[in-house]
Structure 1
Amino acid sequence: MALRRLAQENNAGMAPGSPNQPNGSPKQPKTPRNSRVSIGVYRSPVSGPSLSASVPFDWEAARSLQTPPYGTPLQRKARKSMGVGMDTPRTQRKAVVRKKTLWQRMNDLPSSIAFHISMFPQNVPLPSARTSSRLIAGTAHFSHFLLRVDQSRKPSNWDDLYKEEDDHWVDWSTLMLLMLFAMAFTNVAYLFTRTRKYHFMRRQDPIQSPNAKFVSKDWDRSEASPRPLWRRILSLGWQGFSFSWRFLLNITPKQKNAAASSQPSSSKVQELDVWTPGDLELQLFSLYSPVHAFLWLGTGSNNWIVMMFTMGLLTITLNALIFSYQALVKDKEYIASEVLSEYNDKFVYPRLNPIRHDVGVMTHESEIVNIW
């Protein structure tokens, strides 16, 4: 509009007989001076702050830990607590710490003891899993060795068949042997039953794994905590005992409650039980397994060299297998993390933060052609 008004004034000044032409001679158009600065004409959009342009992130500088291209602004006044820029050393302020009295410590003693008991055994500074497994396995093997030495010292002549002794068939060596076998089998049972549950909410097709199954998931109720291992073992033992007696007495088994089965089932999701072995149980299994305990039963004064060689070879085999499998799992984790990293660098980051630049296009009324 301003340009159109300017053109009209110039046209009126050039017309003959106008008051601007006293002598009748044509007058040249004159552009009036305007002190106002037109931002759209005299200033480029690039010179101002941008609302869309972005600066690419310097990944190479971030990876190599280079210094930033800008510096930290200097503070006019250094903080007294930091002591920056002070030539004269200052003595450190002595803080007054209020200590508890003897009566307060005695009152807090029961609560402290209860707290440490509730944190047991996490608060006990135990050695590493490798060291603990070696100590436990070494103690078990040494106990087996002492048992075999004690049994080899007993006479085994034909005359012993005619001697009547008051020795019972259960003595301290038998109890010790049962304890060692129970420890080995308990470690194996705990090792292979230690799992972690994962739920696949959006997967429809079944997972090709023997540990996967469909379970009912009710989101309105809180999930019950799993029963401990000894309760599950007692439940399975009682079910087997009752089933055997019902089979022997020809009694029909109990039927499930029809009302409970007729209730509408909640949403079905896939549950995967992933085996998560512990380091202590895994190392103890490789050093002292039930196979080692049975090999000690057959060890005697005639074949102890072969048995020792067999147990050593079994331990080396188990350790090599466990080490190779752990290395395989770690290599797969590294491969998966590198695949995700390359996917982020090549696909996610370029599309998540695209580099934009400002481009300004200007025009003028004189470039517009009026077809009318």
Structure 2
Amino acid sequence: MALRRFAHENNAAAPPRSPEGRTPPSPMNGFSPSTPRRSFGIHRSPADTPSISSSVPFDWDAARSRAPPPYSTPVRGRKSIGTATPSGTPRKAIIRKKGIIERIRNIPSTIAFEIALFPHNVPLPTPKTTARIIGGSIHVVHFFLMASRDSEEGWDAVAGIKRSSWFDWTTPITLLLVSFSILNTYNLATRTRSYKFHRRKDPLASPHAKFVVTNLDLEPVAQPSLSRRLRTDLWYGYSYFWRFLLGLQPPNKGTSPKEKTSRVQQLEIWEPSEMELELFSIYSPAHALLWLAIASSNWLLSLLIMVLIGVQLNVLVHAYSQLIKDKQIIASETMKEYNDVFVNPRINPIRRDVAVMTHQSEVVNVWEE
């Protein structure tokens, strides 16, 4: 058996001979060598062939330098439209352009499509820019209200007119602006998002956590059809009529199928929007009250207090928002490092195909011995 295997390996490793018994030409004789064709016979191990199940790490260095793969890929398929030609020049595709008549016919459908997308297709500014525009406009309106009020008081003092009424045309506008600041503050404080913990049994250490009854069915319960409900109602009315005449107890009305519910914990987290936070730092109820308290004797001090409050709120809001984002980045990177170091190496270990095969020459017939 060992001699047969040795002879077989020598025969496989020997250079091929021509029909006339001569060795193939070599570069010394003036002939260029040809690349031998590699064929995988039945006697070769499957580990020599490209594997489709082994998880060998991706060779990024070869991909960046556009190096050829370590094994040949004998794939001869059709040429894709999106691939480049063998010469390296991109394929020139023929693109059909719409004519003027077709574009005119498509105008009504284009207009209807844009109307259907309204107002999502309007290029609006960012939330911060929108809040700054709205807050600045409100401050400008307050300034004009104060200027008009002071001018009227000055002209009344010059003319010697005394007005005892406190209600004029500036009062409703001022009340509207103050109400807007209070409404924005209320929306900012009450905007939350709820999270339900189905696996947590112990109470959460948070004042915003509570036990609620939730529906565990992912799909809604199928309701009976209209004909079935109509038959049920008619039968209930018929039974109720005869039971009432005979002095019996009224029938029990069928109830709808109950949903599967469970008592879980719910945590409500404050989630303010970016626009409301920016608008609150620019125009809050404190700014509105300072505009109401401005007079000719304290206007400079009131404006300084207003600017100080706005800057303080803006810096505090932006610093705390950035702190939350940094904590999210730290948490995500921690989980990524944990997955890369502990989880992925144990769940997806590197595997290679290893197989053992025999050949006909290695089989020994005991009856021939």
Coordinate RMSD, CA, aligned:
4.8
Q: Which residue of 2 aligns with 1:302?
A: 297
Hey, what does 1:145 align to over in structure 2? 143
Q: In the aligned structure 1, how far is the partner of 2:167 from the partner of 2:44? A: 102
Amino acid at match of 2:200: R
Q: Secondary structure at the match of 2:295?
A: coil
Q: CA deviation at 1:180?
A: 0.6
Alignment-derived partner of residue 57 in structure 1 = 57
Could you say if the C-alpha distance between residues 109 and 88 of structure 1 is closer, same or farther in structure 2, counting changes exceeding 3 Å? closer
TM-score w.r.t. length of structure 1? 0.61
Shift in alpha-carbon separation, 1:264–1:46, aligned structure 2, 3 A:
closer
Residue 53 of structure 1 contacts residue 355 of structure 1 at CA under 8 Å; is this kept in 2?
Answer: no
Q: 1:215 to 1:137 in 2, by over 3 A?
A: same
Distance 1:79 1:123, change over 3 A: closer
Aligned counterpart in structure 2 of residue 125 of structure 1, from 123, 135, 154: 123
Alpha-carbon spacing, 1:48–1:304, altered in 2? closer, same or farther (3 Å): same
Structure 2 partner of 1:331: 326
The whole-number CA distance in structure 1 between the counterparts of 2:296 and 2:96 is 72
TM-score calculated relative to the size of structure 2: 0.61
Distance 1:48 1:181, change over 3 A: same
State the secondary structure of the residue aligned to 1:127.
coil
Aligned pair in 2 of structure 1 residues 34, 336: CA closer, same or farther (>3 Å)? closer
Deviations 1:75-102 (A, max 9, x none): 7986677662469999763525365476
SS of aligned partner of 1:154? helix
How many matched pairs? 283
Residue identity matched to 2:167: V
Q: Aligned-pair distance for 1:205? A: 0.9
**Structure 1 residues 83-162: aligned runs within 5 Å:** 84-85=85-86, 93=94, 95-97=96-98, 100=102, 105-106=107-108, 108=109, 111-112=112-113, 115-116=116-117, 119-120=118-119, 122-155=120-153
Provide the rounded CA distance (Å) in 1 between the counterparts of 2:182 and 2:90: 68
| Correspondence list, 1:125-274, <5 A | 125-155=123-153, 169-220=166-217, 222=220, 266-274=261-269
Give structure 1 stretches of 5+ with no counterpart.
Answer: 4-30, 224-262, 361-372
1:351 aligns with 2:346: yes
The offset of 1:110, in angstroms, is 8.3
The separation in 2 between residues aligned to 1:91 and 1:353, in whole angstroms, is: 43
Q: Which runs of 5+ in 2 are unaligned?
A: 10-42, 222-257, 357-369
Letter in 2 for 1:319: N
Amino acid at match of 1:345: D
Amino acid of the residue matched to residue 191 of structure 2?
R
| Paired amino acid for 2:127 | A
Alpha-carbon distance in 2 for matches of 1:104, 1:326: 47
1:2-57 CA-partner distances (Å, limit 9, x unpaired): x9xxxxxxxxxxxxxxxxxxxxxxxxxxx99899989xxxx897866699994542
Q: Residue 210 of structure 1 aligns to a residue in which SS? A: coil
Change (3 A) 1:101 1:198: same
Name the larger-Rg structure: 1
Q: Deviations over 1:218-260 (max 9, x none)?
A: 234859xxxxxxxxxxxxxxxxxxxxxxxxxxxxxxxxxxxxx
CA–CA distance in structure 2, aligned partners of residues 83 and 265 of structure 1: 58
What percent identity do the matched residue pairs reach?
32
How many Å separate the matches in 1 of 2:103 and 2:76? 45
Deviation of 1:156 (Å)? 7.7
Mapped to 2, the partners of 1:50 and 1:298 lie a distance apart of 82
Verify the 8 A CA contact 2:184 2:276 in the aligned structure 1. yes
